[in-house]
């Protein structure tokens, strides 16, 4: 059985994604990626002319994978509360790998990001809020969720709460700390 060859751009994105999730966008350089892959910086520049282009590609790939995960949640035969729990589990999976949400890390570096990256980070959070708003609306209509206010406001609270829970749990290296915060956030909406 032969080994699967991963193309160079994918390898670059894999390493850069991990570095951003561990250190932030300003916490790594092309030299770090080149060293880890055993290639020259020129090879990186061939595929991604600058760090901004690399950052945009990272966000696009991450957002696409996250959207695919949300589509998979939608395809499951579960109620709105369980969809919210599955959403929180996506964050928990990232955290369990000693990483942070890529766009959460980029949001921390927001002031120093190039404009196209800034716009894409905002779009990632907006897309998540739209998905959550639909789930919240569905749950309110079918009686499985109860909350005050508009679904969009609650969706923003969920995104902010989960991102914040990851951030605060990180120095403790304690996924249970994250899970407890996520559970309080989500289970407080579920109608028992």
What pLDDT is stored for residue 4 in this prediction? 45
89 part of a folded domain: yes
179 part of a folded domain: yes
2 part of a folded domain: no
pTM passes above 0.75: yes
What pLDDT is stored for residue 8 in this prediction? 87
Number of domains into which the chain is organized: 1
What pLDDT is stored for residue 153 in this prediction? 97
166 part of a folded domain: yes
State pLDDT tens for residues 108-156. 999 999 999 999 999 999 999 999 999 999 999 999 999 999 999 999 9
User: In the chain, which residues have pLDDT < 70?
Assistant: 1-6
What pLDDT is stored for residue 1 in this prediction? 47
Give the integer Cα–Cα distance in Å for 135 and 141: 10
Q: What is the CATH number of the domain that holds 105?
A: 1.10.357.10
What pLDDT is stored for residue 6 in this prediction? 64
112 part of a folded domain: yes
Place of tokens 């929180």: 88
Cβ pair 81, 145 in contact under 8 A:
yes
3 part of a folded domain: no
| Domain range for 154 | 8-187
Cβ of 63: how many Cβ atoms within 10 Å? 19
């Amino acid at each position: 059985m032969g080994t699967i060859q991963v193309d160079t751009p994918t390898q670059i994105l894999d390493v850069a994604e991990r570095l951003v999730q561990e250190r932030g966008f300003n916490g790594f350089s092309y030299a770090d990626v080149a060293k880890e892959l055993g290639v020259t910086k020129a090879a990186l520049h061939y595929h991604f002319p600058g760090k901004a282009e690399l950052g945009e590609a990272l966000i696009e790939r991450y957002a696409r994978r996250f959207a695919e995960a949300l589509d998979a949640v939608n395809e499951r035969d579960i109620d709105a509360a369980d969809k919210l729990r599955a959403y929180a589990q996506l964050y928990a999976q990232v955290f369990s790998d000693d990483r942070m949400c890529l766009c959460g890390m980029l949001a921390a570096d927001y002031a120093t990001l190039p404009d196209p990256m800034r716009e894409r980070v905002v779009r990632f959070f907006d897309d998540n809020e739209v998905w959550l708003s639909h789930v919240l609306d569905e749950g309110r209509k079918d009686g499985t969720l109860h909350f005050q206010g508009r679904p969009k406001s609650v969706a923003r609270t969920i995104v902010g709460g989960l991102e914040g829970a990851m951030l605060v749990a990180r120095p403790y290296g304690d996924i249970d700390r994250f899970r407890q915060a996520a559970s309080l956030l989500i289970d407080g909406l579920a109608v028992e």
